[in-house]
Amino acid sequence: MTTRPSALRPTESRPTAGTGAAGIRASERPTAEPHTAEPHTAEAPASHEEGHATQAATCSGAVPGQNPHAARGHSFNAAAAQYAANRPSYPPALFDALEELAGRPLAGARVADVGAGTGIATGLLRARGADVIAVEPGAGMTAQFRRTLPDVPLVRGDGDDLPLADACVDLVTYAQAWHWTDPARSVPEALRVLRPGGALALWWNTDALDVPWIAEAADRTARHFGVNVAAEKRNVNAQAADPTGRLRFTRRTVRWSRRVPLDTHLANIASHSVLLVHDEERGAAFLSEEREHLLKVFPDGIVEEVYDVRLLVAPTTPDTASSPSSD
């Protein structure tokens, strides 16, 4: 009988019961919470500090004294169930494009889905026939993931120090998660765990800002919270994703939409880090104002959310695989 080669590092132990198949380094699970996954609909900035926590999180998920980016990264753990219930999924056309740009089908591919969050993308990859290992740093998101996808192996960790063996997967994917990493560390780590001919794929559901009501809502968010959401959403490109220039990304945009009740739309907004890091009273006031604005646009209470999925795919080449590490 043949056995599948292990994706564990040679010196690492097997995963504990309940995490599933091999491919996970079980002995290196962070006790402090690094950034969690699937953060928000904004694209990746060039680079961010990781901001690992060294003390207990507050009820909002942020840690006192953290920088704002780190606080936003931590915020999802306290809202994981809300996140899973209300965030948008991804369209089949996204995975068609991923297969095209990666040059291989998902069916039968070994995939590491990093920053897996509550498992939205992981479940869709698995439905396409991929053999998926999930990597997620946050305790709250991990708990929700295991409720949703109990049979999918998951390990605690992050993209800056992947708990996986060298050359163990065909694809490394990040859905709504790459911008929580430091590319100086996460790029070499992705290249380390990819097999020859593998690919790194990054994508973000972003609001379609050419739709008038969505652009107006983004402006209101910017005024209320002092965060230029529109500017963040425009910042998805190869240089931002990999300032080192080691990777050769191809970009694809997939537009899609979903129709949801207004309450679901508002709960989706409330699960974004820009709201989660602020006090409940301020967030509730904003959502109340949004309800009034949106009922003027959608008087029947059904909101059509329009998204552009920004996809970046970088197949590995002998040049990228042999490039010196940038860390």
Amino acid at 264: T
pLDDT at residue 64 greater than cutoff 60: no
Return d(Cα 299, Cα 252) in angstroms, integer: 34
Return d(Cα 166, Cα 169) in angstroms, integer: 9
pLDDT of residue 319: 67
Tokens, residue 229: 């959401």
Give the position of tokens 């990054």.
Answer: 202
pLDDT at residue 53 greater than cutoff 70: no
Per-residue pLDDT tens digits for 141-172: 898 899 999 999 999 999 999 999 999 999 99
User: Where do the domains of the chain lie, and which CATH numbers do they carry?
Assistant: 68-322 (3.40.50.150)
Per-residue pLDDT tens digits for 1-26: 434 445 645 444 334 333 334 455 53
pLDDT of residue 240: 82
Q: Is 117 left (phi over 0), alpha (psi -120 to 50) or beta?
A: left
Nearest alpha-carbon partner for 124 in 95, 83, 153: 95
Nearest alpha-carbon partner for 190 in 154, 166, 210: 166
Top pLDDT among 190 and 325 is at: 190
Q: Is 227 left (phi over 0), alpha (psi -120 to 50) or beta?
A: beta
